[in-house]
Amino acid sequence: MTEKNQTSEELETAANPEQDEAVGTEPIEEEAVEAEEQEQVTLTAEEMKDAEIEELKTKLQEEENRRLRVLADLDNVRRRATLDQEALQKYRAQEVLTNLVPVLDNFERGLSVKVESEDAKSLLTGMEMVFRSLEEALKSSGLTEIEAAGIEFDPNYHQAVMTDSDENFPSGSVLEVLQKGYTLKDRVLRPAMVKVNE
């Protein structure tokens, strides 16, 4: 009976060889699948690390660029503020001088009047002294008279209000100054009103 049992088992095994193979190879296939999955997980983890590193590098580069832009903007603001401060210091007297230029014109008109009496002459002498003092004070603040008579017309400094023809002067030269012009350092306060030769 024992022999019969053995043969029947052998017969079953012989009749169903796939079962034996499946039973014998099943753990090997599972280990292979697990190893492959483990390798994929490891690759995926490494890929994720690489992706994270690249993302962090990109963010770091963006932040560095942003920081450099902010520093450049700050430097521009400082430079602009310094230039504005310098211009403010340089031209701080502009409004006052602009208002005083007509006073100079009136002084010159008053000084050009012909006087006969001694009292009027002494008054005129006093006015001349005040005028000279005022001129010196304005020059020390940076006010300069624009040269015009006899030189070539320059639209940056001269305003042509009349034309004339004179053969003694070249064409485009200033024949006469009708109203003086002034500059404050390198800025024109008022252009000179002139008569220009055609």
Domain ranges of the chain: 2-88, 91-197
Question: Buried (b) or exposed (e) across 21-44, using 16+ Cβ within 10 A?
Answer: eeeeeeeeeeeeeeeeeeeeeeee
**pLDDT tens, position by position, 60-95:** 999 999 999 999 999 999 999 998 888 887 777 888
CA dihedral for 49, 50, 56, 57, sign (positive or negative): positive
**pLDDT tens, position by position, 19-74:** 444 444 455 666 666 766 666 666 677 778 888 898 999 999 999 999 999 999 99
CA distance 72 to 79: 10
Superfamily (CATH) of domain 91-197: Head domain of nucleotide exchange factor GrpE (2.30.22.10)
- Per-residue pLDDT at 33: 65
The token duo for 43 is 């690759």
**pLDDT tens, position by position, 124-169:** 899 999 999 999 999 988 899 999 888 899 999 999 999 888 888 8
Asked if 90 contacts 187 with a C-beta cutoff of 8 angstroms, the reply is no
